[in-house]
Amino acid sequence: MDAAGFRRLWDQIAPIGRADSGGYLRFSWSEADLALRAWFDAQAAERGLRTETDRNGNRYAHWDPEPGAAADGRAVLTGSHFDSVPHGGAYDGPLGIVSALLAVDELRAAGFTPARPVVIGAFTEEEGGRFGVPCLGSRLMAGAIDPDRARALTDADGTTFAEAMRAAGADPDALGPDPDRLAATAAFVELHVEQGRALDAPVGVASAIWPHGRWRMDFTGAGDHAGTTRLPDRRDPMLTFAFAVLAARKEARLAGGLATVGRVEAVPNATNAIASRVTAWLDARAPDEAVLAAILAGFESKVCERAARDGTGFAIAPESATPIVEFDAALRDRLADLLGGAPVLPTGAGHDAGVLAAHVPTAMLFVRNPTGVSHAPGEAASDEDCAAGVDALAAVLRELAC
């Protein structure tokens, strides 16, 4: 397809949820998310696609085959997510949904009729940007999280996932595994902007996702006056926290993985008070499980030692874990061949495709990101590369839907 055609549809969602930073605030069930879902429905209606929301709040548009089509009735699922991290980039998620709509247009314009359903999915709370657990919609579908836990997850204002869902008109009582939907899916292909500096062709194919997880850390001490408490008398959790930030980086560097502390809250959060509590979240990722475990073990023991010296408390608890994902090798190779020997590359970023890969043959297509920036306003992709992504996705759907 031509770059201008991509841009025309892309521009329709560009203003939705855009912040002054140039990044996006598109949290699940927020006004922006609902506006994107309404836009998705309107696009589906324009194309005569049947829409549906599953029990976990994931939204779908179905391109159904003609009655009597030859295939076994199982669907080819494509799509991604609308939600963003705070001030995230434009492409992470929505690119996969917009590209899927355009790929359907392209296939129809070429006279293709699918022998099995082609379904475009928009997954809920992929980023965990509002409720903390990433890939919530796909985890629920796959039975990888207890629905009671999901219902009770809270956002920064104390609103639960169940309350937010209900306020948006969806039914949180229905949350739970959806084995029938998984069994009715022949393959899932998620197109996504590449999120590092790893792809120097317009389109690539994913080989694997690094194992990764999120941990909540609580540092506790004694709140006191910044001007009257002698240094030796302090039990300052901010000090232990500061040590932990450096320790995370050091352990990751020594082991060969990544560790990030990107979110922190202090109590009482006053310039002239020693904090009584610091809560922060660790994100750690590695090329394999052993390296990830080594980072965590080294980190935990160093921070415990340091907390004992500081007279502070330290507790760490997992919030989510994603094991290593090796995408279906046959499908990966088939798609790379189909796309003329497209580069095959792993990623450290998490995706719904990583969750569903345990249940359904799954593949990912990446579109080049010239800045290499993601989860920040500087995330980018050229219209030409996005158009090449649409062409690639159309070729893949044509291959899989006959």
Question: What residues form the annotated binding site for Zn(2+)?
Answer: 81, 92, 127, 192, 375
Q: Minimal distance in Å, beta carbon 175 to ligand GLV?
A: 21
Smaller CB separation from ligand GLV, 96 or 172: 96
Q: How many residues line the site for ligand GLV (CB under 6 A)?
A: 4
Residues in contact with Mn ion by CB under 5 A are 92-93, 350-351
Per-residue contact track with ligand GLV, 297 to 336, x per CB under 6 A?
----------------------------------------
Smaller CB separation from ligand GLV, 59 or 214: 214
Annotated binding site for allantoate: 214, 272, 285
Residue 93 binding target from ligand GLV, Mn ion, none, CB below 5 to 8 Å by type: Mn ion
Smaller CB separation from ligand GLV, 325 or 349: 349
Secondary structure of the chain as H, E, C letters:
CCHHHHHHHHHHHCCCCECCCCCECCCCCCHHHHHHHHHHHHHHHHCCCEEEECCCCCEEEEECCCCCCCCCCCEEEEEEECCCCCCECCCCCHHHHHHHHHHHHHHHHCCCCCCCCEEEEEECCCCCCCCCCCCHHHHHHHCCCCHHHHHHCECCCCCEHHHHHHHCCCCHHHCCCCHHHHHCEEEEEEEEECCCCCCCCCEEEEEEECCEEEEEEEEECCCEECCCCCHHHCCCHHHHHHHHHHHHHHHHHHHCCEEEEEEEEEECCCCCEECCEEEEEEEEECCCHHHHHHHHHHHHHHHHHHHHHHCCEEEEEEEEEECCEECCHHHHHHHHHHCCCCCEEEECCCCHHHHHCCCCCEEEEEECCCCCCCCCCCCCCCHHHHHHHHHHHHHHHHHHCC
Q: Minimal distance in Å, beta carbon 299 to Mn ion?
A: 23
349 is a site residue for ligand GLV (CB under 6 A): yes
Annotated binding site: 81, 92, 127, 192, 214, 272, 285, 375
Q: Which of residues 51-80 bind ligand GLV (CB under 6 A)?
A: none
Q: Minimal distance in Å, beta carbon 129 to ligand GLV?
A: 9
Per-residue contact track with ligand GLV, 119 to 148, x per CB under 6 A?
--------x------x--------------
352 is a site residue for ligand GLV (CB under 6 A): no
213 is a site residue for ligand GLV (CB under 6 A): no
95 is a site residue for ligand GLV (CB under 6 A): no
221 is a site residue for ligand GLV (CB under 6 A): no
Smaller CB separation from ligand GLV, 127 or 236: 127
Binding site for ligand GLV (CB under 6 A): 127, 134, 349-350
